[in-house]
Amino acid sequence: MIEVAATMARGPVFLAGELMECLITFTNPMSHLSTSASSEMLAWASAQIHCQFHASESRVALPTQGNKQDVQAESDTVLIPSRGERGQCVLDTPPKILFCDLRLDPGESKTYSYSEVVPIDGPPSFRGQAVKYVYKLTIGCQRVNSPIKLLRVPFRVLVLQGMPEPPFPQDEEVSPSNPFLEEEEASRRDARPLERALDMLMVTTSRRCPHMFNITNMRGKVAKFCIFKTVYRLGEDIIGTFNFSEGDIPCLQYSVSLQSEEEIQQQYQRRPGQAVSVTGHGRHLESCLHTASSHFSLPIPLNVTPGFSTDIVTLRWRLHFEFVTAREPMEPPIVLQNQSEVTVWAGAEHVDIWKHTERLVFFVSR
């Protein structure tokens, strides 16, 4: 028996175009004191990245594939990283051999380093209602005349929109390097692409340009809404303000919901005019009768996927507004200037209301 363990030094989240590094350890767990202990021989081991695509049959109509069968693919001695997985493999990197003819004595272990640039032409990791894109690092190893065994390590890929191609140029400095600081310089050089990506992300999402919207219905103006920007990063708070003092229609209550909408491209829709799939990620509800102004704050979860588009699906982000307004004018409570006692104002028991919705689409980046 051989134990295989994989460790990603930087964690399980990567930008497309970033260098992934993984330490893979092979161990013979038998104790040398055991009477049945013996050496283990592995013929070879390799590793590669692949992206698995899965679609809901009730929502996505994919083109039928031919009946061609690969004879080698049916053999359990041929390395196929997506063997036994649901869906289709839409992206994979060439396999890299870790070793050949490895002998492990009882209690012995060997560690190998695997590195690969995460492909920039693939989709981001995404688990939607109709479509899923899942990235995995697959490690395959085999004993002589034995089936291949696979170890799959899932990880997450984020695609940074608007990054120049290639996003992380592997350029080398022409200035002399210090031979005593090779490791430090190498780590700095590896960190530069990530720093450039994060700098670009910070610049893009830190630009503030207030956008003003008038909220109206068929009877008049309800409020003025202000949002300070329309590009956000994961984990950031979406902040907006309402000004009801300029409205003609009394607003009793409003709610703001953070939603993502997953739309299947028309040629892959199971039914004509198929509705988009909407997922809620947070909601703010507040009563605002006789309120001059109000604001809300909705955090963007860290585990969601930024907006993206492929040949099959498009993911967008939006704010969904709901307003409950009164059909008739409502007089505010009157407070006298020289009144010294506390006044209790009781709201109306019955109010004839009108409810309408608004939507605002915005962009969520890494």
Domains and CATH numbers, the chain: 3-60+78-158 (2.60.40.640), 211-330+350-362 (2.60.40.640)
Please name every residue paired with 216 in a beta bridge, in sequence order, or none if there are none: 221
Give me the pLDDT at residue 357, please. Answer: 74
Give me the pLDDT at residue 68, please. Answer: 45
Do 239 and 224 meet the contact criterion of CB atoms below 8 Å apart? no
Give me the pLDDT at residue 172, please. Answer: 43
pLDDT band at 202; cut points 50, 70, 90: confident
In angstroms, the CA 320 to CA 28 distance is: 56
The neighbour count for residue 83, using CB atoms within 10 Å, is: 14
In angstroms, the CA 358 to CA 221 distance is: 13
Range of weakest confidence among 88-92, 147-151, 157-161, 345-349: 345-349
Give me the pLDDT at residue 25, please. Answer: 94
Residues 6+ away with beta carbon under 8 Å from 202: none
Core vs surface per residue 200-236: b (16+ CB within 10 A) or e: bbeebbeeeeeeeeebbeeeeebbbbebebbbbbbeb
Alpha helices in 248-340 (DSSP H): none
Residue 286 has pLDDT above 80, yes or no: yes
Give me the pLDDT at residue 168, please. Answer: 45
Residue type, 199: D
CA distances from 264 to 86, 131, 330, 332 (A): 20, 9, 45, 48
In angstroms, the CA 198 to CA 163 distance is: 11
Q: Which residue has better confidence, 139 or 366?
A: 139
In angstroms, the CA 155 to CA 63 distance is: 28
Q: Which residue has better confidence, 132 or 200?
A: 132
Range of weakest confidence among 67-81, 307-321, 330-344: 67-81
Do 130 and 264 meet the contact criterion of CB atoms below 8 Å apart? yes
Give the DSSP H or E segment for 269.
Answer: none
Reported as a single tens digit per residue, the pLDDT across 161-171 is: 655 444 444 44
Secondary structure class of 281 (helix, strand, coil)? strand
Reported as a single tens digit per residue, the pLDDT across 111-142 is: 999 999 999 889 999 999 999 999 999 999 98
Tokens coding 312:
């099959």
Q: Which residue has better confidence, 335 or 118?
A: 118
Give me the pLDDT at residue 132, please. Answer: 95
Q: Which residue has better confidence, 18 or 177?
A: 18
Tokens coding 132:
């899923």
For all residues of the chain together, what is the average pLDDT? Answer: 82
Please name every residue paired with 240 in a beta bridge, in sequence order, or none if there are none: 227, 296
- The percent of residues in the chain predicted with pLDDT above 70, rounded, is 78
Give me the pLDDT at residue 28, please. Answer: 87
Q: Within its chain, how far is the Cα of 218 from the centroid?
A: 39
pTM comes to: 0.80
In angstroms, the CA 289 to CA 242 distance is: 12
Do 82 and 152 meet the contact criterion of CB atoms below 8 Å apart? no
Range of weakest confidence among 52-66, 251-265, 333-347: 333-347
Q: Within its chain, how far is the Cα of 65 from the centroid?
A: 29
Residue 247 has pLDDT above 50, yes or no: yes
- Most confident by average pLDDT, 40-44, 206-210, 327-331: 40-44
Give me the pLDDT at residue 249, please. Answer: 87
Angle at 219 between CA 359 and CA 356, to 5 degrees: 30
CA distances from 339 to 290, 331, 335, 345 (A): 20, 19, 7, 14
In angstroms, the CA 102 to CA 26 distance is: 10
Give me the pLDDT at residue 78, please. Answer: 64
Reported as a single tens digit per residue, the pLDDT across 33-84 is: 665 667 888 999 999 999 999 999 999 998 776 544 444 445 555 667 777 7
Q: What is the mean pLDDT of residues 291-296?
A: 92
Residue 176 has pLDDT above 60, yes or no: no
Do 60 and 268 meet the contact criterion of CB atoms below 8 Å apart? yes
Q: What is the mean pLDDT of residues 343-365?
A: 68
**R_g of the chain computed on alpha carbons:** 29
Give me the pLDDT at residue 218, please. Answer: 84
Q: Which residue has better confidence, 30 or 164?
A: 30
Residue 247 CB burial class (10 angstroms; 0-12, 13-18, ≥19):
buried
